[in-house]
Amino acid sequence: MKQIDLTNNPKSKKSPFKVPEDYFENFATQMMTQIPETIFVEKTNMAKNVEVLEPTITIFTRIKPYIYLAATICGLAFGVKVYQIQKQYYAEKHQTPVATVNEAQAAQFVDDACDFMMIDDHDVYSCATNTF
Amino acid sequence: MSYLDDSLITRQLHDPATRRRAFEELVKKYTAQLYWQIRHMVLSHDDTNDVLQNTFIKVWTNLDNFRGDSKLATWLYRIAVNESLTFIQKRKDTLTIDDTEAGPAAELESDPYFDGDETDLQLQKALQTLPEKQRIVFNMKYFQEMKYEDMSEILKTSVGSLKASYHFAVEKIENYFNAND
């Protein structure tokens, strides 16, 4: 085997690699087919004889930020409404029931209890004053 | 063939109206340089073609990130080197044990786009035994005759470290040849 010469002598380092014919000439054309086309409307300014290129902006592109803004507000409003409904639902669910009893009903309960236990006013008085 | 100046290409790349035209100019100007850089790393022509296309696609999609802080050529080389390393890593991950032992240099013998002699083939095999960084430095210095200062910008490594890497690479290649004599 020939001895390798690594002394940076250009004559000794011919590249061992080849490329297909016209590869470099055709590469750019082939490459550009993979690059997305940007749509430009060409305007020719005849007075100044200057070619001006301006990108086309569709209506959707113009209103897109407003659509996003409206969608965000709707989303937020919906979220707040759902939160309020849930809060109300849980508040109602976990509320402690309170029975409202008026004075006449209370007196009636006491009378019924006294009848059931067979006690009279005297017994009640003795019990209250601890004298029986 | 004469090409536009890098600073003019850069300015046109940042203008949406001239971007595509400037990019085509950039592709024409740097295809050969980047091709050889990649080819010496990945070896096969077909793989090089894929990596080169990926490199330019990455350049196109990242044009807005290039602010001209570094030279255009440096930025392109850096992307090409990174794409090549990513490709080599993916290839390593998919190779079987037998393929790994032979290495991609072994495939050169049947590659229609390799017309080197036995010594060239041995050199490529020797290069495959080097650590990645040493192989890149050797290729840039030996085959592309790149200056250490330019390599330093591309690889973000000090000139001293690059010189050391090249020195070690040459030493290992010479040892490889002596051992296989």
Q: Give the end of a domain, one of B115, B130, B149.
A: B115
Please tell me whether residues B95 and B154 are part of one structural domain.
no
Q: Residue B26: which CATH number?
A: 1.10.1740.10
Please tell me whether residues B110 and B22 are part of one structural domain.
yes
Identify from A4, A21, A41 which residue to disrupt to test chain B contact, counting B C-beta atoms within 10 A and taking the largest count.
A4
Chain B residue whose CA is closest to A22: B32
Of residues B16, B19, B143, nearest to A13 (C-beta): B143
Cα(B164)–Cα(A72) distance, integer angstroms: 58
Number of domains in chain B: 2
Structural domain including B81 reads: 1-115
Please tell me whether residues B132 and B66 are part of one structural domain.
no
Which tokens sit at B153?
């910008």
pLDDT tens per residue, range A8-29: 555 556 678 889 999 999 999 9
Instruction: Quickly state the pLDDT bin for B100 (edges 50, 70, 90).
Output: low
Q: Give the end of a domain, one of B67, B100, B115.
A: B115
Number of domains in chain A: 1
Chain A residue whose CA is closest to B170: A6
Does any domain span residue A74? no
CB contact under 8 A, A24 and B35: yes
Contact present, B127 and B105 (Cβ < 8 Å): yes
Please tell me whether residues B127 and B175 are part of one structural domain.
yes
Torsion of CA A90, A93, A94, A98, to 10 degrees: 140
Of the segments A10-19, A48-57, B152-161, B172-181, which one has the largest average pLDDT value?
Answer: B152-161
Is A130 buried (19+), middle (13-18) or exposed (0-12) by CB count in 10 A?
Answer: exposed
**Distance, first Cα to last Cα, chain B:** 44
pLDDT the model gives residue A41: 47
| Residue B123 contacts A, CB cutoff 8 Å | yes
Please tell me whether residues B9 and B87 are part of one structural domain.
yes
Chain B residue whose CA is closest to A37: B20
Q: What is the pTM assigned to this prediction? A: 0.64
pLDDT the model gives residue B5: 83
Structural domain including A117 reads: 99-132
Of residues A13, A38, A53, nearest to B142 (C-beta): A13
Cα(A25)–Cα(B142) distance, integer angstroms: 26
pLDDT tens per residue, range B149-167: 999 999 999 999 999 999 9
Please tell me whether residues B14 and B83 are part of one structural domain.
yes
